[in-house]
Chains A and B, each alone.
Chain A
Amino acid sequence: MNAPLIVDGVTTSIRLDGQRHDVVRDISFQVAARETLALVGESGCGKSMTALSIMGLLPAGIASVSAGKIIVDGIDMVAADETVRESVRGNRIGMIFQEPMTSLNPVLPIGFQVGEALMQHQGLSRSAARAKALDLLEHVRIPSAARRLDDYPHQFSGGMRQRVMIALALACGPKVLIADEPTTALDVTIQRQVLALLADLQAREGLAVLLITHNLGVVASVADRVMVMYGGDVVESADVKDFFARPTHPYSVALLAAMPRIDATEGPQPIPGQVPSLDAMPSGCRFQSRCHLRQDVCSTLPPLKPVAGNPGHQVRCWMRGDT
C-alpha cells in the first residue's frame, strides 16, 4: 500500500519582479500511516511553502509548483484542477494552524462550523452534521460538548479552540494531517494536552502527520522522523533518535546548540546572521554564508547522501556524511 502522503522532487517557485526564485528545492519525502514526520527550520526556510504546496493553496499568480509530484491519498495535487483539490482539502487532508484564536469564524457557532465540513464533503443534512459534530467534539475531549455546540468561538479558551480546530480538521476522516506549529500559541501545559490528544487520534485513525515546527522539544516528544530545512533545501533527514544522537549537518548542530537545555553547563548559542533574502541566496549550499565549515566546494550544491552507512540518515553537506 502506498503512503498517504508522497512528495516527490517538488520545487516551488515564486515570481518577484519578473524573477523566479525557488523557495522549495527538489524536496522528496513520504509519510506513512501512523507516522509523524517533523519538518524543522527557522522562519523563511520553506516549511510553510511546502505545506501550502501540498494543500494546493499557493497564492495564485505569485507562487507555483514548478516541478515534481505531490500525491495525497492517491490523488496528484499538482496535476489536479481546482475542483478536485477542493474535494481533497478538508476531506482527505486536514490542516491545523498556529493561531486557534483567530482561525474560527467569530460569528458562527462552533457546532455549525464543525458540521459545515461534513455538509460540504459528505453531503450530510444539517441535523446529521450536527450529531456528527457532537461526536467529534467529544472525540477531542471538549467537556460537556452537547451544551457547547451552540457556543461561539469567543466563549472558548485557546486550548479548547485548538481542540475545535482539530475536530474540524479531522471531521471528514482524512488520511493526512498537516499540523503547522499547532502548539506555538498555547501554554506549555496546554501544549502537552494537545500533543497527547493528537498522538491519541493519530493512533486511532491511522493518520499520517506532517508536523511543521521550530520547537525541537516538540519534535523529540512526538515525531518519528525529522527533516531539517534551510533556505528551501532539505539539509538533513533522519529518524528522530538518530537525529538527536548524531546531528550531522552544521545547521542541525547549530539549531540544537541554540536551544536552551536544562542539563547544559553553557547557555544557548545563537546562530550568527540570518537566512539570506531570496535575491541574495548564494548558489550551491544555501547555508554557506553562516557556516563555520565553509570551503570553496560549497558553491556547488551538495547531494543528499547517507551518513556512515545508515541509509535512513541523510545529510546535504560536502564536509559531512559518506564521501
Chain B
Amino acid sequence: MSLAASSGPPSRRHSRLTRLTRSMGLVIGLAVVVLMIVAALVAPWIAPFDPDDQDVLLILSAPDATHWFGTDAFGRDVLSRVLWGARVSLYVGFVATALGIVIGSAIGIVAGFYGGLIDRAVSASTDILLSFPQLIMGLLLVAVLGASLTNLIIAIAITAVPAFIRMARSSALAMRERDFIDACRVLGYSDLRIMAVHILPNSLDELVVMASLWMASAIRTESTLAFIGLSVPPPTATWGGIVREGFDNLLDAPWLALFPSLAILIVMIGLNMVGDGLRDATDPRAAT
C-alpha cells in the first residue's frame, strides 16, 4: 500500500471541510451585514418609536416589553435610536469606503502603470498619509472641516485612500509586466483602456476584499469620532453618539451603552467575516 494512497483521502476531506467552514464564515458574515443594512433601510417603518421623541416620565427605564432596549436620559426609545443610528453609521461607512476605493484605485493604478516620477510622488505622499494613525487623521480632518455628515464622509474617505492607492499600485505594477498587457499594446489600445478594462478587473478581487475590511474600520472610526462628539451633531442618532450618552449613565443604565456597542461589534465581526471569506475564496493558494 502506497503512502500517497493512504494519506490522500483524509487530507482531501480535511481541506474540503476547512473550505466549507471558510465559506460558512462568508455566508454568516454576509447574512449579518445584509440584515443590518436592511434593518437600517427600513428603520422608519420598523422602529417602534420616533427616535427623537422624549418621554419625560420614562427616563432611563430598563429594557421591558414596550422598550426592548430601555430608554435614555431623555426618555427616548433606545431600540429606535439604534435602528436610526444604523442609517448614519452604515451610510458613512459605505460611502466613505466607496469613495476611498474609487479615488485610491484610480490614483494607484495610474502610479503603478506609469511608474517613474508620478509613481515616486504618489508613493511618497501615500507613505506620509499612512504614517498618521487613521483615527488621528480623521480627527484632524473633522476638526478642520467641521462636524457634518459630508465632512465626516470626506474625512474618513481620505484616511482610506492611501491604503487603496498602495494596494492598487502594487497590483498594477505586477500586472504591467504581464504578456497580456503587451498584447493590448500590440492591439493599439490606449493607456486609459488598458488600465480601465484590463488592469482594474484583475485587481478587483483584492480591492473588494480590502473594501469589506475597510468598511468595518470606517464604521469604527465614525463611531469613535461620534463618541468624542465629532460626528453628526445631536439629536441625530449615531451609534457612537448613543454610546457616548450611555457612558454618562453607565452605572445607572448600562443598557444604554450596551446595545449600540453590540450593534457596532456585530457589524464589524460580520464585515470581517465577509472580508476573510472573500479573501480565502479568491486566494488560489487556498484552493489546493
Judged by a CB distance under 8 angstroms, whether A135 is at the interface is no
**Chain A 104-135 interface mask (CB, 8 Å, partner B; 1/0):** 11111000000011001100000000000000
Q: With A99-B179, A103-B180, A106-B202 given, is the CB distance from A86 to B189 under 8 Å?
A: yes
In the complex, are the beta carbons of A57 and B198 less than 8 A apart? no
Contacts of B186 in A (CB 8 A): 55, 57, 89-90, 94-95, 97, 169
Q: How large is the interface on A (under 10, 10 to 19, 20 to 34, 35 or more residues)?
A: 20 to 34
Nearest B residue to A87 by beta-carbon distance? Answer: B188
Of A55, A90, A95, A106, the residue contacting B189 (CB under 8 A) is A90
Cβ of A181 to closest chain B Cβ, rounded Å: 12
Measured CA separation A120–B197 after assembly (Å): 12
In the complex, are the beta carbons of B188 and A121 less than 8 A apart? yes
Measured CA separation A253–B1 after assembly (Å): 57
Cβ of B192 to closest chain A Cβ, rounded Å: 11
Residue from A55, A107, A165 having most chain B Cβ neighbours under 10 A: A107
Judged by a CB distance under 8 angstroms, whether B178 is at the interface is yes
In the complex, are the beta carbons of A104 and B193 less than 8 A apart? no
Contacts of B188 in A (CB 8 A): 85-91, 120-121
Nearest B residue to A86 by beta-carbon distance? Answer: B188
The prevalent SS among residues of B at the interface is helix
In the complex, are the beta carbons of B179 and A97 less than 8 A apart? yes
Measured CA separation A95–B186 after assembly (Å): 7
Of A91, A102, A168, the residue contacting B179 (CB under 8 A) is A102
Contacts of A89 in B (CB 8 A): 185-188
Measured CA separation A284–B198 after assembly (Å): 46
Contacts of B190 in A (CB 8 A): 86
In the complex, are the beta carbons of B185 and A165 less than 8 A apart? no
Measured CA separation A89–B184 after assembly (Å): 10
Judged by a CB distance under 8 angstroms, whether B245 is at the interface is no
Judged by a CB distance under 8 angstroms, whether B124 is at the interface is no
Measured CA separation A57–B182 after assembly (Å): 9
Q: With A106-B202, A107-B201, A107-B202 given, is the CB distance from A90 to B182 under 8 Å?
A: no
Contacts of A121 in B (CB 8 A): 188
In the complex, are the beta carbons of B197 and A116 less than 8 A apart? yes
In the complex, are the beta carbons of A102 and B189 less than 8 A apart? no
Cβ < 8 Å to B, chain A residues 168-207: 168-169
Judged by a CB distance under 8 angstroms, whether B144 is at the interface is no
Chain B contact residue count (CB 8 A cutoff): 18
Contacts of B128 in A (CB 8 A): none
Contacts of B251 in A (CB 8 A): none
Contacts of A91 in B (CB 8 A): 188
In the complex, are the beta carbons of A165 and B187 less than 8 A apart? no
In the complex, are the beta carbons of A104 and B185 less than 8 A apart? no
Cβ of B120 to closest chain A Cβ, rounded Å: 15
Cβ of B105 to closest chain A Cβ, rounded Å: 15
Residue from B179, B188, B202 having most chain A Cβ neighbours under 10 A: B188
Contacts of A102 in B (CB 8 A): 178-180
Judged by a CB distance under 8 angstroms, whether B3 is at the interface is no
Judged by a CB distance under 8 angstroms, whether B287 is at the interface is no
**Chain B 207-222 interface mask (CB, 8 Å, partner A; 1/0):** 0000000000000000
In the complex, are the beta carbons of B187 and A103 less than 8 A apart? no
Judged by a CB distance under 8 angstroms, whether B56 is at the interface is no
Q: With A116-B197, A120-B193 given, is the CB distance from A104 to B183 under 8 Å?
A: yes
Cβ < 8 Å to B, chain A residues 57-102: 57, 85-91, 94-95, 97, 99, 102
Measured CA separation A180–B178 after assembly (Å): 17
Cβ of A180 to closest chain B Cβ, rounded Å: 10
Measured CA separation A88–B187 after assembly (Å): 9
In the complex, are the beta carbons of B187 and A97 less than 8 A apart? no
Contacts of B189 in A (CB 8 A): 86, 90, 116, 120
Cβ of B268 to closest chain A Cβ, rounded Å: 30
Residue from A86, A99, A117 having most chain B Cβ neighbours under 10 A: A86
Measured CA separation A108–B190 after assembly (Å): 18
Measured CA separation A55–B201 after assembly (Å): 27
Nearest B residue to A88 by beta-carbon distance? Answer: B188
- Other A-B pairs, 9, CB within 8 Å; known A105-B202, A120-B188: A57-B185, A89-B185, A89-B187, A90-B187, A103-B182, A106-B202, A107-B202, A120-B187, A169-B187
**Partner-B contacts on A (CB < 8 A):** 55, 57, 85-91, 94-95, 97, 99, 102-108, 116-117, 120-121, 165, 168-169
Give 10 A-B contacts (CB < 8 Å), ordered by A residue.
A86-B188, A99-B179, A105-B198, A105-B202, A107-B201, A108-B198, A108-B201, A121-B188, A168-B183, A169-B186
- The 9 nearest A-B residue pairs measured at CB: A89-B188, A90-B187, A90-B188, A102-B179, A86-B188, A95-B186, A103-B183, A103-B179, A105-B180
